[in-house]
Amino acid sequence: MGKKWMTAVVAAALSVVMASSAFAGTWENQEGRWKYHNDDGSYAAAQWVEDQGTWYYVEQDGFMKTGWFQDGAGVWYYFDENTGAMVSGTTRNIGGTDYTFDGSGAWVQPQVRLNDGWNGTTYVNRLVGYQITLPDSYQAVSGNTVSLPEEAQYDMVASAPDGNSIIVTAIINMSELDGENWSDEELAYYFKYIYRSESDVIGASFNDLGFAKITLIQSEEGIADVYFKRCGSYVLMIETVFIPSRWQEIDDILHTMKIPN
C-alpha cells in the first residue's frame, strides 16, 4: 500500500513538474515511464532534454534515463531515480557512498592515488569507481602475487589465511595502449594474446556488471580466471586463483562488486 501510494505521489508530481509549452515539447507517461514528445510530433531519443531549466537524458529507446549515465567523452552523470532530473552542484549519497557533482552535472572524481584504500573489509577505488567486499578472514597482501599484463597496475591484492584463494584487482589505462577506441572484440583479443589463452571469452554473470571472462587454468589442483571490464578510459581487471573447493567463496566475493552504471 505504501509503495503504491508513493508511486502515485511521484507520478502526480512529475505530471506537474514536466508540463511545458507546446514549443518546448511535453513529457508523456507510458506505463509508468516517461517519453519526451517534441513539438514537431516526434519523440526524443538518445539526446539531452532541457525542461524549465532542468536537464534530463532520453535513451535510445525514447525513455527517460535514471541513475548513472556515462557520455561519449567518459564523463559520468547521475539522474534522480524518481524524477529523472540531472543532479548538479551538490554532493549526494548514492548506495552508501558520497559523490560530488559540479555545476554541469559531471561527477567530480576525487584526486586520489590509485589505491584508494580499505574501509573495514570493503576495498574502495574512486578512480574507477568500484568497491568490493571480502570475508573477514581475508588479509591484504603486498607484492606481485600473480602474473599481470605489463600495462596493468596492481590495485588490491587479498588472500585467504591458508593461501588457497587469492583475488587481485588491477587497472589498465587504455590511453597507454592507444586503445581508447578499441571495440569489445579488440579488447578481448588483447587479453587472449597477453595471457596466451586459447579459452573462449565469455560473459560473466555477477551483478549484471558486464564483465568478460577468460579461464586460464582449470584443473583438479586449481582454477585461475581473469575478468575485465571497460570503465571509461580505464579497464578494470579481476584475477582469481583458487582451489576448486573455494569456488562458491570466490563467487560470493565477486557478487559484492559494485560499480556505478
Q: With respect to residue 124, please indicate whether it lies within any of the assigned structural domains.
A: yes
Q: Are residues 94 and 131 in the same domain?
A: no
Cell (9 digits) for 154: 596492481
Burial of 187 (0-12, 13-18, 19+ CB in 10 A): buried
Is 261 inside any structural domain? no
219 within a domain of the structure (yes/no): yes
Q: Is residue 111 part of a domain?
A: no
Digit-coded pLDDT (tens) for 79-104 = 999 999 999 999 998 877 778 899 99
- pLDDT tens, position by position, 200-251: 888 887 778 889 999 988 999 999 999 999 888 889 999 999 999 999 999 9
Total domains in the chain come to 2
Statement to judge: residues 11 and 135 lie in one domain? no
Please check the confidence at residue 145 and state whether its pLDDT lies above 70: no
Q: Are 124 and 116 in contact (CB under 8 A)?
A: yes
Same domain, 126 and 71: no
Domain boundary among 44, 66, 101: 101
Looking at the DSSP assignment, which residues form a beta bridge with residue 156? 169
